[in-house]
C-alpha cells in the first residue's frame, strides 16, 4: 500500500484512513488504487471483524481530484472502463463485515458515495455532505443508486439534483447519519460502536448483514430459504457451539471467528 491510504488494526477493529490531507483527501489514481487495496485487505483480514473509514486532516474526502485528471472517464487504472460494474467498495465489492464511516469534515462526491456504502455513519459536528457533480456537468451514478435506499427518494433527489451541501445535523435529521458527536469524540465514538458490534459472533453478524441486504432484493420465499440455509451453516461453526456453552455456563463467550 502506498502513502495515500493507511490501514491499521487494533484488536478486531480495522481503520482505513484517506491520507491526502493536503488535497482534502480528493481521489486521484494513487488514492483510488490504495483505497481498493485497503478494502480488499480488510475483507481478507481474518482478525478484522469491523471496519472504520475516516479521513486525515479537515476532510473525509472531497470527491474526485479534478486537477489530477480524475474528472475524465477511464483515466484511472481499474476504473469502470477497465473492470466493468464492480471495481471498488463504493460500486459493490461485497464485504459482509460491518463498516462504519467516521465523517470528520468535507464529504463530497465519491466520498459521500463511499459513505452510502457503509452500514453506519457517525458524523463530526464539522461534517459537510454533498453531491456536487451536477454543478460541474457530471452525473452521479452509484450515489444515485444507493442514496434513495438510505434516505428515501425525495430527500435523495434533493441532494443529487441540486448539488447542495448539508451539515451534520441535517444529515442526522434525514437519516443519512446515525449520530453526530463533538469533533474530538469522533473516532472514540466510532470505536465504541465498533466494540458493540464485536460483542456478537463475527460469522453470525456477517450472515445477518448479508441477509439484511440480499433479503431486500429477493422474493420473500427465496429470502427465507436463503436465510435458513445460512443459519444452518453458521450453526455448524465453533462459535455457535461456544455461544451455547457460554450461555449455559453463565460466562461471556470467546469468539474465534470460525
Q: Within a 10 A sphere around the Cβ of 6, how many other Cβ atoms?
A: 15
Q: State which residues form the domain around 221.
A: 202-249
pLDDT of the residue at 227: 96
This prediction has a pTM of 0.91
Task: Please compute the mean of the pLDDT values over residues 40-59 and round it to a whole number.
Answer: 97
Residue 254 lies in a domain: no
Same domain, 96 and 179: yes
Q: Does residue 256 form part of some domain?
A: no
Same-domain pairing of 180 and 217: no
CA 130 to centroid of chain Cα atoms: 16
Same-domain status, 84 and 118: yes
Q: Into how many domains does the chain fold?
A: 2
Report yes or no on 10 lying in a domain.
yes
The candidate with the shortest Cα–Cα distance to 110, out of 166, 147, 41, 62, is: 62
What CATH number does the domain containing 86 carry? 3.90.226.10
Between 50-64, 68-82, 244-258, the lowest mean confidence (pLDDT) is in 68-82
Q: Does the residue 163 lie in any domain?
A: yes
pLDDT tens sequence across 14-41: 999 999 999 999 999 899 999 999 999 9
Q: Of the given ranges (22-26, 50-54, 81-85, 99-103), which has the lowest mean pLDDT?
A: 81-85
Q: In the chain, how long is the greatest CA-to-CA distance? A: 62
Residue 106 forms part of a structural domain: yes
Return the CATH number at 216.
1.10.12
The answer to whether residue 1 scores a pLDDT higher than 70 is no
Mark whether 66 and 37 lie in a shared domain: yes
Pick the closest to residue 175 from 216, 211, 147 (CA basis). 147
| 58 and 100 part of one domain | yes
What pLDDT, on a 0 to 100 scale, did the predictor assign at position 71? 44
Q: What are phi and psi of 239, to 5 degrees?
A: -65, -40
146 within domain boundaries: yes
Amino acid at each position: 500500500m502506498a502513502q495515500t491510504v493507511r490501514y491499521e488494526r487494533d484488536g478486531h477493529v480495522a481503520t482505513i484512513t484517506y491520507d491526502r490531507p493536503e488535497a482534502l483527501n480528493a481521489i486521484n489514481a494513487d488514492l483510488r488504487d490504495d483505497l481498493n487495496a485497503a478494502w480488499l485487505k480488510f475483507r481478507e483480514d481474518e482478525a478484522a471483524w469491523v471496519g472504520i473509514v475516516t479521513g486525515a486532516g479537515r476532510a473525509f474526502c472531497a470527491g474526485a481530484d479534478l486537477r489530477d485528471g480524475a474528472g475524465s472517464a477511464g483515466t484511472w487504472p481499474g476504473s469502470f472502463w477497465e473492470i466493468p460494474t464492480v471495481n471498488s467498495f463504493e460500486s459493490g465489492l461485497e464485504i459482509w463485515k460491518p463498516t462504519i464511516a467516521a465523517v470528520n469534515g468535507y464529504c463530497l462526491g465519491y466520498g459521500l458515495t463511499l459513505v452510502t456504502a457503509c452500514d453506519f455513519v457517525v458524523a463530526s459536528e464539522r461534517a459537510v455532505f454533498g453531491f456536487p457533480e451536477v454543478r460541474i456537468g457530471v452525473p452521479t451514478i452509484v450515489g444515485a443508486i444507493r442514496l434513495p435506499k438510505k434516505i428515501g427518494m425525495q430527500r435523495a433527489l434533493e441532494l443529487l439534483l441540486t448539488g447542495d451541501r448539508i451539515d451534520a445535523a441535517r444529515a442526522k435529521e434525514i437519516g443519512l447519519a446515525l449520530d453526530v458527536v463533538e469533533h474530538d469524540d469522533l473516532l472514540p465514538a466510532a470505536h465504541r460502536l465498533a466494540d458493540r458490534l464485536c460483542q456478537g459472533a463475527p460469522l453470525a453478524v456477517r450472515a445477518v448483514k448479508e441477509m439484511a441486504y440480499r433479503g431486500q432484493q429477493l422474493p420473500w420465499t427465496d429470502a427465507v430459504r436463503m436465510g435458513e440455509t445460512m443459519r444452518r451453516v453458521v450453526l455448524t461453526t465453533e462459535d455457535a457451539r461456544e455461544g451455547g456453552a457460554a450461555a449455559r455456563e453463565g460466562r461471556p463467550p470467546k469468539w474465534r471467528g470460525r
